[in-house]
Amino acid sequence: MNNEFAIVWAHKDRLLFGLANTVGLVVIATALSLVVGALMATALASQSRAVRRPAQWLVDGMRCVPFLLLAYIVYYGLPTVGIRLNNWTAGLTALVIYHSSYIGEILRGAWSNLPRGYIDAAHAVGFHGQVLYRRIILPPIVYAAVPVLGNQVIQIIKDTAFLMIIAVPELTHAASSIQATYYVPFAAFVAAVALYWILCRGVEMVVGVIERRAEARR
Amino acid sequence: MTPYAYFSLLQGAGVTVALSLLGIVIGVPLGLGLALVRWARIPVLTQVIAAYVSVLRATPLVTLVLLIFFALPSIGIPIDPIPAAILTLALNTSAFNCEIWRAALIDFPKTQLEAAQATGMTSSLAFRRIVFPQIWRTSLPSLVNEMTLLVKVSPAIAVIGVVDITRAAVRIGAETYEPLPPFLAATVLYFVILLVLVRVQRSLESSTARKFGSA
Amino acid sequence: MTDRSDAIVAEESTDVSKQPVLEVVNLCKSFADHQVLDGVGVSVAKGKAVCILGPSGSGKSTLLRCVNWLEKPDHGSIFLSGQRVGVRPGGAIPMSASELAQIRARIGMVFQHFNLWPHLSVLGNIIEAPIHVKRRPRDEVIAEAEQLLDKVGLRDKRDAYPARLSGGQRQRVAIARALAMRPELLLFDEATSALDPELVGEVLAVMEDLAREGMTMVVVTHEMGFARDAADEIVFLDHGRVVETAQPEQFFDRPQTERARQFLQRFEREWRPK
């Protein structure tokens, strides 16, 4: 057993390369999903049915589809309609489509909890449209939603592992290739699990820090 | 898609439903057991379970299923793909269920428990007759939500060769060079499974509300 | 508190007919730094109704909750018909969970907030403990439960669920539930304090009937009229100490201590006979 861990340690750069890919995917996917999600929230909260309905269908649709299936559809299915993406980009795209829907719904929920008076006051001073959204609405709802958003980031971390199936060289893929080459399954995957745990704990701690700062401001 | 393709997908659906169900049937009571140990604050075990829950909730299902399928044989426990898949699903959902049950136990009104104790009920009798009949009903939405999440991550088992809906769809797509139709059919199948789950939950909720009223 | 004096007290009570149903000796209890009970002693003979009165924070509820070990006292002892509660004879080893449950089955408690079980019907609430704790046959228990429902005036609510009942009705169900266990001692912890004023009367009426019929009970209450009319003895508690013990007429008309006098002045309107 110790021997196994020694072998994994000897090839730790492969594991760390996988970890770097995972972290990269997570960071970019989170950033993009937040942006797209913020846009989706406006659509979901829209008064116009023509805008709101399709957005709701998208969110409900993403809630009914396994992420891996979506990744397959983006990677293998899109080429049949002419859009050919490499596996990394396909994976990222699937992550963003999937999670921006969830984040959009989360933000919409937080938005509906904003006290009416708060928005009225902004209107009274002349805020409207995009600026109103960006400067008055988004900040408090993002703060309010931080714990839930934190959970969503953890989901993103875990969903990146599915991408190993389409050969994206992230952490689980790296662990798998080490174990296939050197026959060290226990050590390789335990190491991967430990790294995932550290990533998720990191997210939880960041959420904790942000929550405490939000409390202090109140 | 050929009739054979449809049949293949339905077979895959059977596998997805069966294995998810087994995972749920094992994982939900297991989660309850773990939650009860933590609620009773049994020393040592409580910390061990807390660590178990923390790790399992942070581990992607793909990684877990690979760990179980490849690592168990290497420490002397041979295991086939299907049992490995069931074990993985069960362990994963047990960790999330532990948190759901724990929340219900913590929220349970202490006053009802006191009334039970005052009548001379032991803890286990009080749990069986007073606590559990109520907390399974209040936890139902969270429990069913977790079941839907389990179904949605179940395609991970395809990576160790189990032919569920997703793997069946991929295979058909690879053979016919037309991947979209089977993928869309697969989407429909998952949608139906999830819809059934949600419907069952809604009908259980409304029958509960009708019977006991809202206090 | 030494164990020897506990043993002496227990030995004195071998004559069953003279044995008090409840004997509390030198009870002490603190929460954090706050001393809630400071050497409280109470004795309740069979068939007597004892009312515990006192200002808020005097420790009345805590005293009651120590009797059936819902709170663990720091010092002192409690005897139910001569048997030590909470601790095995000898005083050193706490009772096991099942021993404690057995003692509690002999004591009935009615709580301020009723604490009915919402997932069971009225009948279900009443028959639950006799069937599952005492293992009595179901038919027998149901028959007795229906008689109890008659007694508290709620026969027609037999199959209703607690959510649909008023506060007064719920409390009467709670009393029936406690009675169904045929307890040696019945404890009332501010049973009417959470009720709307119009509903207090119906519950007090049931409690008065019980006292008249000879139920051994300890009642913590603010209802001075009830204390004057239905109690056999008043125990006045203040700051965790028994300040005065007397018959109701004596307590209300000629209180011996200054603190009792001050307390009674506040409630004069309620208990002064008209």
**What's the gap in Å between the CA of B59 and the closest CA on chain A?**
6
What is the CATH topology of the domain spanning B3-212?
MetI-like fold (1.10.3720)
**What's the gap in Å between the CA of B191 and the closest CA on chain A?**
5
Average pLDDT score over chain B:
92
CA pair distance B189, C209, nearest whole angstrom: 66
All structural domains of chain C: 2-106+183-271 (3.40.50.300), 118-182 (no CATH)
Average pLDDT of the residues in C196-208? 94
Q: Which residues of A touch B67 (CB under 8 A)?
A: 185-186, 189-190, 192-193
The answer on pLDDT for C273 being more than 80 is no
Tens of pLDDT, residue by residue over C239-265, are 999 999 999 999 999 888 998 998 888
Specify the range with the lowest mean pLDDT, choosing from A154-168, B118-132, C3-17: C3-17
Q: Indicate the pLDDT class of residue B57, thresholds 50, 70 and 90.
A: very high
User: Which residues sit opposite C188 in a β-bridge?
Assistant: C110, C219
Q: Which residues of B touch A171 (CB under 8 A)?
A: 63
pLDDT in the model for residue A143: 83
Burial class (CB in 10 A: 0-12, 13-18, 19+), C273: exposed
Specify the range with the lowest mean pLDDT, choosing from A10-24, A27-41, B195-209: B195-209
Q: Do chains A and C touch (3 or more CB pairs under 8 A)?
A: no
Q: Indicate the pLDDT class of residue B215, thresholds 50, 70 and 90.
A: very low
Q: Which residues of A touch B159 (CB under 8 A)?
A: 164-165
Average pLDDT of the residues in B109-114? 94
* Cβ pair B119:C104 closer than 8 A: yes
Look at the block and give the residue holding tokens 């921006």: A100
Distances (CA, A) of B27 to B22, B35, B203: 8, 12, 23
pLDDT in the model for residue B206: 80
How is chain B split into domains, by residue range? 3-212
CATH architecture group of domain A2-216? Orthogonal Bundle (1.10)
**Residues 6+ positions from B11 with CB-CB distance below 8 Å:** B163, B168
* Cβ pair B152:A67 closer than 8 A: yes
Burial class (CB in 10 A: 0-12, 13-18, 19+), B158: buried
User: What letter does residue C217 receive in the DSSP assignment?
Assistant: E
| pTM of the full structure | 0.86
Average pLDDT of the residues in C67-88? 93
Average pLDDT of the residues in A207-211? 90
ipTM for the predicted complex comes to: 0.89
Q: Which residue has the higher pLDDT, B205 or C50?
A: C50
The answer on pLDDT for B48 being more than 60 is yes
pLDDT in the model for residue C48: 95
Average pLDDT of the residues in C178-195? 95
The answer on pLDDT for C9 being more than 80 is no
Chain B interface, mutation test: which of C61, C100, C104, C188, most B Cβ atoms within 10 Å? C104
Average pLDDT of the residues in B97-117? 94
pLDDT in the model for residue C251: 92
Please give the full DSSP string across B130-166, using - where no structure is assigned: IIHHHHHHHHHHHHHHHHHHHHHHGGGGGGGT---HH
Closest residue on chain B to C161 (Cα) = B212
* Cβ pair A162:B59 closer than 8 A: no
Least CB-CB distance to B119: which of C105, C118, C163? C105
* Cβ pair B63:A69 closer than 8 A: no
Number of DSSP helices (H) and strands (E) in chain B, helices first: 10, 0
Percentage above 90 pLDDT, chain A? 58
Helices (H), C153-266: 167-179, 197-212, 224-230, 248-253, 258-266
* Cβ pair B166:A189 closer than 8 A: no
Least CB-CB distance to A196: which of B60, B71, B190? B60
Neighboring chains of C (3 or more beta-carbon pairs < 8 A):
B
**What's the gap in Å between the CA of C117 and the closest CA on chain B?**
6
* Cβ pair B60:A157 closer than 8 A: yes
Least CB-CB distance to A69: which of B55, B159, B187? B187
CA pair distance B153, A162, nearest whole angstrom: 9
* Cβ pair B156:A162 closer than 8 A: yes
CA pair distance C111, C107, nearest whole angstrom: 13
Residue C188 is inside which H or E element, if any?
strand C185-189
- For residue A164, the tally of other CB atoms under 10 A from its CB is 26
Q: Which is it for strands C107-110 and C83-84: parallel, antiparallel or unpaired?
A: unpaired
Average pLDDT of the residues in A21-40? 95
The answer on pLDDT for A65 being more than 50 is yes
Closest by Cα among A95, A105, A123, A118 to A30: A95
Closest residue on chain C to B110 (Cα) = C115
Tens of pLDDT, residue by residue over B130-139, are 999 999 988 9
Q: Which residues of C touch B129 (CB under 8 A)?
A: 128, 132
CA atoms within 13 A on the CB side of B98: 26
Closest residue on chain B to A177 (Cα) = B66
Burial class (CB in 10 A: 0-12, 13-18, 19+), C197: exposed
Neighboring chains of A (3 or more beta-carbon pairs < 8 A):
B
B-C contacts at Cβ under 8 angstroms: 78
User: What letter does residue C164 receive in the DSSP assignment?
Assistant: G
